[in-house]
Structure 1
């Protein structure tokens, strides 16, 4: 299958998932639904990149499907910016808090996704090594 098909199918699925989570709503004019969507997407992209770039266990078409397609369709930078703009018109301090909070949380989530995959891989390698040692002894 062509790479663009993987991205297109994944993007459609990601957009459907985002639409479902958008229904969560907002709290005190703060678009928490988009905060959650973007932070979750950042966490999962960290996992995708660790599986793909660091461990090489995710084939290129799956990286495109999940990373570019699903997570590209799921996260929503333009809606995030619209939320910042809307908050800015009402409460500038809250807009700055939302903007910086989302960026910091997204970066932390992406790093967290990397760490989770690294730890799972480390545990799997340790377990394999232990099983090999037991088989020899």
Structure 2
């Protein structure tokens, strides 16, 4: 399978999953679904990119389908930006809170994914 097809297939799954999360969560104005998918995406991308066991076991096209395709389409910066501006119209505090939670939470979730990958590597090495 060509890399573009792998990315496209992963992207189809990721965008569908993102839409599914948005259908599950009725947030009454606060973009909770975008926050959740972005935090999950931060964790999963950091985990996959730092897990040598997984990287060695997956074919290159499968790996790029998961990372660039699925996770790339599951998460969204454009929705974060638009929803932040929309929140600004109703509540400046909510808008800033959303941005700060997303940025700090994203870094925390990336760190957690990285740490889990490191632990997995140590367990596999034993």
Aligned twin of 2:121: 121
Which protein, 1 or 2, shows the higher relative CO under an 8 Å CA cutoff with sep ≥ 6? 2
Partner Cα distance (2:13, 2:55) in 1? 24
Does the 8 Å contact 2:42/2:106 carry over to 1? yes
Aligned residue pairs total 125
Deviations, residues 43-94 of structure 1 (Å, cap 9, x unaligned): 0000111125x97424432221011000111111111111101111110011
Q: Give TM-score, length-normalised by structure 2.
A: 0.90
Partner Cα distance (2:110, 2:59) in 1? 20
Deviations, residues 10-44 of structure 1 (Å, cap 9, x unaligned): 00010111111011334352111110010001100
1:44 aligns with 2:44: yes
Listed as ranges, the gaps of 5+ residues in structure 2 are none
Taking a change above 3 Å as real, the CA distance of residues 120 and 51 of structure 1, as seen in their structure-2 partners, is closer
Does the 8 Å contact 1:25/1:31 carry over to 2? no
Partner Cα distance (1:118, 1:62) in 2? 21
Listed as ranges, the gaps of 5+ residues in structure 1 are 127-137
RMSD, matched Cα: 1.7
Partner Cα distance (1:91, 1:12) in 2? 34
Aligned twin of 2:60: 60
Aligned twin of 2:71: 71
The structure having more radius of gyration, on CA atoms, is 1
Aligned twin of 1:131: none
